[in-house]
Amino acid sequence: MTTQSISHRSIRLAGTAAAALLMGTTAGHAADSTTARTTSAQEIRPALDIGRLDISPDIQLRRMVVRNASAKGTVLLLHGFPETVLAWHDVALKLGTDYEVHAFDWPGYGESSRPSADRFSYAPRDYANVLKSYVDAAGIDKRNLVIYATDIGALPALLAAIDDPAIARRIIVGDFAPFNRPQYMQERLQGLKDPKSAPAVRAAFNQSRDEILENAFSRGLPAPSQYKLSAEYKADLARGWNNGTLTSADAFYHYYANFTRDQNAFEATLARLQTLVTVVWGEQDIYIRKEMGAELAQRLNAPLHVLSGVGHYPHLQQPEHTIDEVRASFE
């Protein structure tokens, strides 16, 4: 399935060139006032805005928000590596017909801040604090919030829930490594977990940016399951990788430098996790095998949904399932 191009209404892109992409009728073809008056509320597309939010003196996040004056609840979407907030564009617009939808670039990704590693460690624990600060700064009602978190966003979401069991009504997680089980991880990810080999893996990631951005999303999938990214999203990925002195690969390296510590801390406090969790996994995920998801679901007594023919990025390959999972969480 192709991630659709950005269209159908104007989006304000803070901090990027040209400032706007069109998402609706152009000015030259705008509906006249008579037509506008007869358009029902149900036919009006949700308004999507990309801007910025300060959550601390060192951290400013680029965020995407879909507003809905009659929202039935709030959804927060958390991306993985090497993604940016635009991974959620299509999912956010579709969910925005019923909910207020938020997403943001993690520090080190897209157009969010990239403080030096001596000021911010990029660890899962620090990302958990970023998540909690965002929810507070954005004024989100946690009582009616569903979080969907994948890859590097998932462990921080669960750590945040251990800190604050009321952070959301449900958290949907998948395709990540909650426990220190390197045998279920791709070889290069195992290399990042090992302090001896991690610097070399970091260098290799930085040297192969173009190859990663071109192939990471569908690597290992058979031809019938291959999918493409929109030109807008691919451009945002490339722009966001080197947006500052610290690359997204560098942020990923720092995340892994503290990963084992935070995995062990999560496993040691797993019994304290009270927030409802659903686990979603791509059956064909070659980066983190589905056995990791099966163990997490079993230990949490949580639903496990393994998606046939799907790889590491279900929200891109099968976005309709992501939308259905979120909607089901509000029922």
What structural domains does the chain harbor?
11-26+43-329 (3.40.50.1820)
- Give the separation between CA 295 and CA 201, rounded to whole angstroms: 27
Q: Scanning the structure block, which residue is given the tokens 């019994």?
A: 271
The CA distance from 76 to 25, in Å, is: 28
pLDDT at 9: 35
Report which DSSP code applies to 4. P
Phi and psi torsions of 198, nearest 5°: -60, -45
- Pairing mode, if any, of strands 74-78 and 145-150? parallel
In the 3-class helix/strand/coil scheme, how is 31-75 assigned residue by residue? CCHHHHHHCCHHHCCCEEEEEEEECCCCCEEEEEEEECCCCCCEE
pLDDT at site 27:
29
pTM of the predicted protein model: 0.87
Report the DSSP beta bridge partners of residue 150.
174
Task: Return the SS3 of 227.
Answer: coil
Tens-digit pLDDT string for the chain (331 aa): 433 333 333 333 333 333 333 333 222 333 333 333 334 444 556 789 999 999 999 999 999 999 999 999 999 999 999 999 999 999 999 999 999 999 999 999 999 999 999 999 999 999 999 999 999 999 999 999 999 999 999 999 999 999 999 999 999 999 999 999 999 999 999 999 999 999 999 999 999 999 999 999 999 999 989 999 999 999 999 999 998 889 999 999 999 999 999 999 999 999 999 999 999 999 999 999 999 999 999 999 999 999 999 999 999 999 999 999 999 999 9
Write down the pLDDT at residue 26: 27
DSSP letter assigned to residue 317: H
The angle that helices 259-268 and 154-163 make with each other, rounded to 10 degrees, is: 40
Dihedral pair phi/psi, residue 160, rounded to 5°: -65, -35
Contacts of 127 (CB under 8 A, 6+ apart): 106, 107, 152, 153, 155, 156, 255
